[in-house]
Amino acid sequence: MAVAAVLGLVVLSARVAWSGWVDPQTPLWARATTAIETGFAHTLVFSDEFEVEGRSFADGDDPRWTAVDKNDYTNMALHYYHADHVRTTNGVLNITTDYAPTTFESAEDEEGFVQFKTRRKPFSSGLVQGWNKFCFTGGIVEIVARLPGKATVGGLWPAMWLLGAMARATYVASTDWMWPWSYNTCDRERQYTQEINACEPSPHYGLRPNTGRGAPEIDILEAMPGVGTLNYGLEKPYWSTSYQVAPGKLHDRPVEGKRPNPGQWYEDGLRYGGNTSINAFFYGEELKHFTKRETYVADALSANTHIDDTHFTNFHTYRLEWEVEPDREALRWYLDGDFIYEILPRSLDFTGAKMPDEPMHILLNTAVSSTWGFPLPWEQPPGCDSSKKCYDCGSQKCACQLPVGFCEMLPAHYEIDSVRVYQRLDEKSHKIGCSTDTHPTRRFIEGHVDRYFDPYNGENKPLHPVKAGGARCRSSATCGDGTCVSGRCRCSPTATGPECKAFVAFNDISYEEPWRLRLSTPFVPPMLRTAVLAFLVLTAGIVAFRISAQRKARSASLIASSPALPTPSNNPPPKVEPKKPASPKKRKAAEPPAIKRKKTTGVNHESVVYETNKGKLVQALLRRWWYAIDWPSKEARSKVPEENFEVLSGFPGVHVCTSGPRLGELVDHRDHDAAPSFVNLYAKPAKELKELVATAFESQINQLKNHEPDSPMIPGLQKEMKGAAKINADKADVEARKAFAEYQKNTQGRR
């Protein structure tokens, strides 16, 4: 009773003021704001003032943000994101971009097999994201920041933006068919390009039936420094404010660099501020996929505003008012309180897309890309060879392709003084949380967890739990809001992070179903699973055999029956290509390299092993081993059955008793240590596997050619054979060992 009363009180007070994400160092005057257009009172629900010196945002270090530590595979990036390029210094979040080349092994998709290629990115930079930490639906975001570099030098691409909870930036597998959908109509033509679409009557993962979902993007700011005047008088530097949304307009799109013709683009329901005009340099993009059916278009409703030097020398306030209340929906951008751009729902009647209503998280980053403010070939200095696109400060040849003054300007620092989010506490549609009652995401993300981390980047889960204390220390000075106890930081109750430098943060309200005690289902290791299956199958076989044998014994005519058993007999017809096991679907996406996602249901620990190059070699071999491996051995096959036994049909090397007291008993002469099972094959060195796979493909293709010279299967087999041949055996062995260790680690304690 008392507990319920206390809980009721907590819930009640939570309605009065949500404070779980508020930085206690936010000054009182900044704890409320009024919407500029509507006058509604808003209360602070999230803030970060970055006042504590030396915070780190690496995975596991901070409850609000994660600084990614990985290559950026998007937008022709020339940078690699390092977590240590994001720190707090002198009261700001300090994102540093520098000329600091990173060489790394990039996992790339080659005809369904992973190839490791050594790649080099000349620049290092930083990206923090609130993904799966702080998300909100509706409200006002206000960011006070100073942009990096110089107003007149192009090349840097600083941004502050919002992205739907179901996509994680730079993890390309999470954005395919998800970004930037905001569409709730069942449209058979588009069904294959929006993963969670309104045509699905019974979706899994707690999603609502017939409800389209996605991860739209709102850009609060993307700044383009540099000099010069573009078409129709847009002067650099400028910044763009955008809503990026799918579905996009498929046909008759405006030409980039030109204003749209009347009726050709979104018009009605858009309003531009005094110094702002339509962004005619970016109308969106096509997301190319393997097949046309899976390819789609994303539109950018975007505006450009000229800015001056002071944005790079002083702090300015960038503000987005995002109203989700039904019948009031709107997006409005402001700069230091001045109106910039507005999008109202009726503008989207053009395509049928929706205003954003997904839970969104905040991102802050600086990118470097040849597509953003770089000189075009004819703008490069005379004698610069633009054919080799190397963009590198380290050599004269490559530096001339960079914007003038770019290398000299580095390192550059993007400084964010504060990030604050306000909501109307009396408005039900304003919510906090990445998974809400109307827009659940948690179970979907858990069920597709492999899209949100990169195992080829040494990651084994999307986010590690935030460590509270534990960092090594000599004195309490290291430990933020904590003390140094026996050489380790111990945090006060309000602090977290290894060095206790972050304020604790939490959702005041959970929209999730109440927590339930869940007994984890018993785990069966795959080997045992196979053994159990084999046992069941054999038992069934024996029973069937006994019955038929008894029947036959009675009728005294012994014709060998062949119980239906799944293992392949020694000579299956060459035409049969069994359905591929759970190997990832091969898909080419718009984004370069990155490994494409695999569709899986639930967390599947074995998949780590299956999806290594070695695992794939084994799977390729298991589908055609009889072309390359002589098993069972000749010796086993030629064993003469004992009295009353005969060879079990379809199982050379196995004898079965057909009469007498031992009726139904099996004697297996086959060598099981050499059997072509996943486990046995996986134990072989990759070099040997490659040879076996090559032999198997070769003889399968040859047999096919003999029997069916123009079989449509041949080119596919040849392609797969080529993919397998390209695998680097040494690297595959290393990867396989790692994956197996990972598998063992993940399944520990579950047996």
Ligand X SMILES: *[C@@H]1O[C@H](CO)[C@@H](O)[C@H](O)[C@H]1NC(C)=O
Least Å from the CB of residue 102 to ligand X: 17
Residue 465 has, within 13 A of its CA and on its CB side, a CA count of: 3
| Candidate list 22, 52, 83, 92; residue touching ligand X; CB under 6 A | 92
Contact (CB, 8 A) for 197 and 208: no
- Run of H or E including 115: strand 113-125
Least Å from the CB of residue 415 to ligand X: 5
- Among 720, 454, 719, 419, residue whose Cα is nearest residue 598: 454
Tell me how crowded residue 710 is: count the other CB atoms within 10 A of its CB. 7
Strand locations in 190-337 (E): 217-224, 238-245, 270-272, 276-278, 284-287, 296-306, 316-323, 330-335
Specify the stretch interacting with ligand X by CB under 6 A; choose among 88-96, 544-552, 568-576, 618-626.
88-96
Least Å from the CB of residue 225 to ligand X: 16
288-327 residues in contact with ligand X (CB under 6 A) are 308
| Candidate list 108, 187, 285, 338; residue touching ligand X; CB under 6 A | 338
Specify the stretch interacting with ligand X by CB under 6 A; choose among 91-99, 289-297, 391-399, 570-578.
91-99
The residue (of 274 and 522) whose beta carbon lies closer to ligand X is 274
Least Å from the CB of residue 153 to ligand X: 18
The DSSP letter of residue 580 is P
The residue (of 273 and 469) whose beta carbon lies closer to ligand X is 273
Amino acid occupying residue 297: V
3-state DSSP helix/strand/coil % of the chain, to nearest 5: 25, 25, 50
The residue (of 305 and 401) whose beta carbon lies closer to ligand X is 305
| Candidate list 13, 34, 90, 539; residue touching ligand X; CB under 6 A | 90
The residue (of 87 and 624) whose beta carbon lies closer to ligand X is 87
The residue (of 94 and 607) whose beta carbon lies closer to ligand X is 94
Place of tokens 């999470």: 174
Specify the stretch interacting with ligand X by CB under 6 A; choose among 84-92, 197-205, 366-374, 738-746.
84-92
Q: Give, rounded to a whole angstrom, the gap between the first and last alpha carbons of the chain.
A: 40
Least Å from the CB of residue 92 to ligand X: 5
The residue (of 90 and 638) whose beta carbon lies closer to ligand X is 90
The residue (of 19 and 94) whose beta carbon lies closer to ligand X is 94
Task: Give the list of residues 6+ apart from residue 110 with CB closer than 8 angstroms, or none.
Answer: 723, 726
> Phi and psi of 189, rounded to 5°?
-70, -30
216-275 residues in contact with ligand X (CB under 6 A) are 273-275
Under the binding rule (CB under 6 A), the answer on residue 361 touching ligand X is no
The residue (of 277 and 746) whose beta carbon lies closer to ligand X is 277
Q: How many residues bind ligand X (CB under 6 A)?
A: 12
- Run of H or E including 48: strand 41-48
Task: Give the list of residues 6+ apart from residue 428 with CB closer than 8 angstroms, or none.
Answer: none
The residue (of 308 and 630) whose beta carbon lies closer to ligand X is 308
Task: Give the bridge partners for 66, in sequence order.
Answer: 129
Least Å from the CB of residue 416 to ligand X: 10
Q: Residue number with the shortest CB distance to ligand X?
A: 274
Least Å from the CB of residue 282 to ligand X: 22
Under the binding rule (CB under 6 A), the answer on residue 365 touching ligand X is no
Residue 295's SS3 state is coil
Residue 511's SS3 state is coil
Under the binding rule (CB under 6 A), the answer on residue 38 touching ligand X is no
Least Å from the CB of residue 334 to ligand X: 10
Under the binding rule (CB under 6 A), the answer on residue 415 touching ligand X is yes
Under the binding rule (CB under 6 A), the answer on residue 746 touching ligand X is no
Q: What is the 3-state secondary structure (H, E, C) of 62-73?
A: CCCCEECCEECC
Under the binding rule (CB under 6 A), the answer on residue 342 touching ligand X is no
Contact (CB, 8 A) for 676 and 667: no
453-472 residues in contact with ligand X (CB under 6 A) are none
The residue (of 112 and 273) whose beta carbon lies closer to ligand X is 273
Under the binding rule (CB under 6 A), the answer on residue 410 touching ligand X is no
Task: Give the list of residues 6+ apart from residue 374 with CB closer than 8 angstroms, or none.
Answer: 154, 155, 391, 401, 402, 403
Cα 651 from Cα 502, distance rounded (Å): 65
The residue (of 145 and 297) whose beta carbon lies closer to ligand X is 145
Contact (CB, 8 A) for 484 and 476: yes
Alpha carbon 3 to chain centroid distance?
41
Specify the stretch interacting with ligand X by CB under 6 A; choose among 90-98, 365-373, 533-541, 655-663.
90-98
Least Å from the CB of residue 687 to ligand X: 46
- Among 470, 468, 458, 531, residue whose Cα is nearest residue 496: 468
Contact (CB, 8 A) for 716 and 700: no
Under the binding rule (CB under 6 A), the answer on residue 600 touching ligand X is no
H helices of 169-253, in order, are 172-175
The DSSP letter of residue 350 is G
x-marked contacts with ligand X along 147-176 as a string, rule CB under 6 A: ------------------------------
| Candidate list 94, 97, 129, 423; residue touching ligand X; CB under 6 A | 94
The residue (of 89 and 600) whose beta carbon lies closer to ligand X is 89
Under the binding rule (CB under 6 A), the answer on residue 277 touching ligand X is no
Place of tokens 């930085």: 23
Cα 94 from Cα 103, distance rounded (Å): 24
The residue (of 325 and 338) whose beta carbon lies closer to ligand X is 338
The residue (of 18 and 414) whose beta carbon lies closer to ligand X is 414
- Among 715, 725, 671, 673, residue whose Cα is nearest residue 695: 725
- CA distance to 190, 359, 587, per residue, from 213 (Å): 13, 11, 22
Least Å from the CB of residue 317 to ligand X: 14
Least Å from the CB of residue 333 to ligand X: 12
The residue (of 89 and 210) whose beta carbon lies closer to ligand X is 89
Cα 203 from Cα 30, distance rounded (Å): 42
Under the binding rule (CB under 6 A), the answer on residue 97 touching ligand X is no
Least Å from the CB of residue 455 to ligand X: 31
Under the binding rule (CB under 6 A), the answer on residue 413 touching ligand X is yes
The residue (of 190 and 319) whose beta carbon lies closer to ligand X is 319
Task: Give the bridge partners for 159, in sequence order.
Answer: 222, 365
Specify the stretch interacting with ligand X by CB under 6 A; choose among 92-100, 118-126, 471-479, 650-658.
92-100
Least Å from the CB of residue 134 to ligand X: 24
Least Å from the CB of residue 143 to ligand X: 16
Cα 672 from Cα 667, distance rounded (Å): 13
Contact (CB, 8 A) for 368 and 127: no
Under the binding rule (CB under 6 A), the answer on residue 89 touching ligand X is yes
The residue (of 84 and 105) whose beta carbon lies closer to ligand X is 84
Contact (CB, 8 A) for 575 and 708: yes
Least Å from the CB of residue 156 to ligand X: 15
Under the binding rule (CB under 6 A), the answer on residue 56 touching ligand X is no
Under the binding rule (CB under 6 A), the answer on residue 332 touching ligand X is no
Strands 217-224 and 238-245, sheet pairing = antiparallel
Which two three-digit tokens encode residue 396? 């004269």
Contact (CB, 8 A) for 210 and 197: no
Alpha carbon 338 to chain centroid distance?
36
| Candidate list 43, 47, 66, 96; residue touching ligand X; CB under 6 A | 96
Task: Give the list of residues 6+ apart from residue 464 with CB closer than 8 angstroms, or none.
Answer: 59, 60
The residue (of 26 and 89) whose beta carbon lies closer to ligand X is 89
Contacts with ligand X, residue ranges (CB under 6 A): 89-90, 92, 94, 96, 273-275, 308, 338, 413, 415
